[in-house]
Chain A
């Protein structure tokens, strides 16, 4: 009897959850949807980006919504399938996305992005110190990239590794991993799970500020030359859907974003204009190491 009563309550609770639940990802025709690649700490990602959505909505005068995605590839797919019209991509994922969507364009990048840098970091037990030369001593050690689709965590470090050793990373290191994101790369090298790793310098600086990096355990051993990275990319067909000059409006809204609270989500000091051509070096590099056909 007791069990029966419990069952009825449970059933009622489940139904109530369903009935009173307002679907949150309703992307109606007139809603402008954007996403961002999940490249770092995802805690409270949704509430952080919903503030950005509110800002854009005010600026653009249309309903704007943020959709969280699980991977770089998912961000690209959503963009390609027109489930998002605007995305904060990395260099490589942006190239991938724009190759797949005719007429799409890079419209804005972070102030830091034209000259982005990857840090090679190492656990203190390796005894490696920072040098201006590529640290060839990392051969034979364990190494972790970030996400498989990351520019700063995979593409550029792999490019330099192949260039320096003339071999694929699997043949250079005793073990190669993909941590998933930059925060995780730092954590894995700091704990010694991997001896060496490659990390986005902005995320490194961010984590250092927040006191999550122990300089006794993990340190920078090499900084790559600069390369173009993150950017906002937008589909070319939004003008038709949201009105003339919509791309320009979005671009203006992004460039004039100056609330430090909003900019901290990326994290960037501000946004500057960008174009597809800015990312030609990334596309070439992607083809060189075989990530792009």
Chain B
């Protein structure tokens, strides 16, 4: 039993799980539409490359306005989410709170934005809440996890009868405060990405102009906007200072155009009429509702869900493969300083580019199939995991006579990191799913495509049902991922979140 290779693989839970995931992904791939439909993608690619080396910073109208809005939405949205998330983390043991957080973070910020656009219009509240609400759910979860994993030895030394709040303030918070600050800073980076991407659905941020520039092939302008975006992200550690935060928040609040009216009637109408299924509004009763729901589920939700799951599973496998390929690029165990620097630059660029923008660019180049989405998701997430795993390998010391080259990678490096790599990969499974759904807005027939169509047809009742299905799917994946990680005893470190 124990001494055949096949027997070993049969008994290894890791090997079995991986085999399953690979098999599922391969089956999905077999049915996937991954054609390159553009006739001459390389000519377009050449124009893109030319644009990237000749950025035009003067082409965008109201560029400063877009930069200021991008920063303002991110700062206000993330700050609000950190405050809300912190409060929720303290009561995260309540099942209802956990459920609430799971639901709000299962809906992508772009979907939140599409909803709030209906309720608040182009008011600043739309952008701020679209970021703050899903982020609060994420922050609450991570803050609660940090709190849970904190060293509780000091807690046990407290005199019995110490109040919960006192214990929290004196023992637990000081312990986790540094982690919270680090994580909040990381969230701000994510918030900047989200803020930019919100422009794709009409908020006046960098994405607004980026979408136009890319769609119309103005690559020099697009490049300039991308570079500005990279600079904002790359210099974040320099300008995002705690002491300046109040000043930033005041400035952000001051420049947003608050005067655009928010009407109570609009809000009320959205909740009491818009999202009420059409047959009910139209007095068709339960029979009408069931038929409406049936049609919606069969014609849109089902194909959308299939495509979403299909794309997610392929992208997950591709992300795993790319992560394994990327991490040695930044590992001191594999490469010297010069090689590593090049690796770092490459990984910074691909992981700073929101996958939505990456997919958008590839879609313009290759045409609308699943291929651009797969590649975009794998590049972005592979870049993030590769970076984290590569950083981890800095702590490894190999024996003096360790093999070199590919044998070193295969026998020494990969086996030592693959548990960590898989933990990160499965952790990002849910994130990949969220992005997969949203890529539908770009024309890939995932759930996002049908959500976008429903918004385009101003059928918010349908949109809401489809968004709810997307959220359920996300929660299901989140739970599956947690089970898989527990089954394989994979642990995610703070950085991986």
Contacts and interface: CB of A to CB of B under 8 A. Distances in A.
Contact present between A and B (CB < 8 A): yes
A255 interface: no
Contact of B457 (A3, A11, A14, A149): A149
A293 B216 contact: no
B247 A15 contact: yes
Interface stretch (B3-11, B254-262, B400-408, B471-479): B254-262
Given A23-B257, A70-B208, A187-B217, A148 B456 contact: yes
Interface in B249-269: 251-252, 254-257, 259-261, 263, 266
A82 interface: yes
Contacts, number: 155
A23 B64 CA distance: 11
A11 B208 CA distance: 24
A43 interface: yes
B127 to A, nearest CB: 12
B169 interface: no
Interface stretch (B79-87, B143-151, B233-241, B329-337): B233-241
Interface string A16-32: 01110101111111000
B257 A26 contact: yes
Contacts of A44: 61
Interface stretch (B33-41, B350-358, B427-435): B33-41
B96 interface: no
A46 interface: yes
A81 B262 CA distance: 9
Contact of A71 (B39, B40, B456): B456
Contacts of B118: 77, 81
Contact of A69 (B202, B252, B456): B202
Given A14-B248, A71-B202, A77 B260 contact: no
Nearest to B292: A293
Contact of B71 (A14, A184, A193): A14
A56 interface: no
A81 to B, nearest CB: 4
A51 to B, nearest CB: 13
A145 B200 CA distance: 20
Interface residues of A, number: 63
B61 A183 contact: no
Contact of B68 (A18, A47, A77, A291): A18
B11 to A, nearest CB: 46
Contacts of B117: 74, 77
A22 B216 CA distance: 29
A19 B254 CA distance: 8
Interface in A124-156: 125, 142, 147-149
Given A14-B239, A27-B261, 4 more contacts: A11-B241, A148-B456, A187-B217, A191-B40
Interface of A: 3, 6-7, 10-11, 14-15, 17-19, 21, 23-29, 41-44, 46-47, 67-74, 76-78, 80-83, 96, 100, 123, 125, 142, 147-149, 175, 177-178, 180-181, 183-184, 187-188, 191-194, 291-293
19 contacts: A3-B238, A10-B235, A14-B248, A15-B244, A17-B64, A17-B67, A18-B71, A21-B255, A25-B257, A29-B261, A44-B61, A73-B455, A96-B458, A148-B456, A177-B443, A178-B443, A181-B215, A192-B39, A194-B367
